[in-house]
């Protein structure tokens, strides 16, 4: 019995204190001649808690060290439903404002941002130079980035977001649940929201998606979709066999 209790205690410490603070750099090469040589970093689901400022700074340093051409953020920067459960949005935006890349940082909002007041989050982001996409896009010389509103707290309109785009196109959607509505002209869709399930015992225990575990995590080449495990945790502050990640994508 003592061994069982010790094992449970060790596992809880690992899931609560150790794995959530491990930061993995997931590297993916995607063949796409239209986007060749573009190097992007995608990060999502920060869920920054009141005591998480050091963790956020570490994430920013790790992203910058990847030498990205562009940085894309997938939503859920705040934690929980109430402001007392999160680091203040001004402090979060100040840290994310230190992200550096050739083409800057573009972001969409997540459901937690919507619950806590996305207008405040958007204003804070824009004050530090982060472009927020709400059913809209931004075009560069050789490609465009589009972003849609969150499915739970907004009204995602993919058609509006990508209208009049004639360049190679990357779409950010906080959740992968819009995948059925994404047209083939989109070269890549980036999503988060699922956290990869957070706790994975052979398969994810719980995934907040109408598709169940189908799009819980990873690269889905047929759909041209990548779903990130994200960086933080929600509901239970635990992770097991589901490391926090930033995603580095190189087009070849």
Q: What is the DSSP letter of 18?
A: I
Q: How do the pLDDT tens digits run along the chain, 252 residues long?
A: 888 888 889 999 999 999 999 999 999 999 999 999 999 999 999 999 999 999 999 999 999 999 999 999 999 999 998 888 999 999 999 999 999 999 999 999 999 999 999 999 999 999 999 999 999 999 999 999 999 999 999 999 999 999 999 999 999 999 999 999 999 999 999 999 999 999 999 899 999 999 999 999 999 999 999 999 999 999 999 999 999 999 999 999
pLDDT at res. 210 = 96
Structural domain containing residue 82: 2-251
Distance CA 141, CA 177 (A): 30
Q: What is the CATH number of the domain that holds 105?
A: 3.60.21.10
Q: Are 237 and 20 in contact (CB under 8 A)?
A: yes
pLDDT at res. 114 = 97
| Percentage of the residues of the chain whose pLDDT score is greater than 70 | 100
* Cβ neighbours for 7, distance < 8 A, ≥ 6 positions apart: none
pLDDT at res. 2 = 81
Distance CA 182, CA 190 (A): 12
φ/ψ bin of 159: left (φ > 0), alpha (ψ from -120 to 50), beta (otherwise): alpha
pLDDT in tens, 177-208: 999 999 999 999 999 999 999 999 989 999 99
* CA distances from residue 1 to 5, 14, 15, 111, 147 in whole angstroms, order as listed: 6, 20, 21, 42, 53
Residue whose C-alpha is closest to residue 194's, from 181, 182, 210, 180: 210
Pairing, β 24-30 against β 245-251: parallel
pLDDT at res. 57 = 98
Task: Indicate the number of domains in the chain.
Answer: 1
Q: Are 242 and 207 in contact (CB under 8 A)?
A: no
SS3 content of the chain, % helix, strand, coil (to 5): 30, 25, 45
In Å, the largest CA–CA distance within the chain is 66
Predicted TM-score (pTM) of the model is 0.96
Pairing, β 131-132 against β 70-73: unpaired
């Amino acid at each position: 019995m003592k061994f069982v209790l010790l094992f449970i205690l060790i596992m809880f410490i690992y899931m609560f204190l150790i794995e959530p603070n491990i930061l993995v750099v997931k590297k993916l090469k995607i063949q796409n001649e239209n986007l060749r040589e573009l190097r992007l970093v995608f990060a999502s689901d920060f869920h920054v808690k009141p005591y998480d400022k050091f963790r956020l700074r570490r994430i920013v340093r790790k992203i910058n060290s990847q030498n990205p051409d562009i940085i894309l953020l997938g939503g859920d920067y705040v934690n929980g439903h109430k402001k007392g459960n999160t680091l203040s949005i001004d402090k979060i935006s100040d840290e994310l404002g230190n992200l550096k890349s050739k083409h800057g940082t573009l972001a969409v909002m997540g459901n937690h941002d919507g619950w806590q007041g996305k207008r405040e989050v958007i204003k804070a982001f824009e004050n530090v130079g982060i472009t927020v996409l709400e059913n809209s896009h931004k075009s560069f010389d050789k490609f465009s980035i589009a972003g849609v509103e969150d499915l739970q707290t907004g009204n995602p309109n993919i058609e509006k977001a990508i209208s009049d785009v004639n360049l190679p196109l990357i779409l950010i959607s906080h959740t992968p649940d819009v995948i059925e509505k994404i047209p083939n002209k989109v070269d890549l869709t980036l999503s988060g929201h699922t956290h990869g399930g957070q706790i994975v015992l052979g398969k994810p225990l719980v995934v907040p998606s109408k598709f169940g575990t189908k799009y819980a995590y990873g690269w889905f080449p047929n759909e041209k979709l990548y779903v990130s495990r994200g960086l933080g945790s929600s509901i239970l502050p635990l992770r097991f066999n589901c490391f926090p990640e930033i995603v580095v994508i190189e087009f070849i």
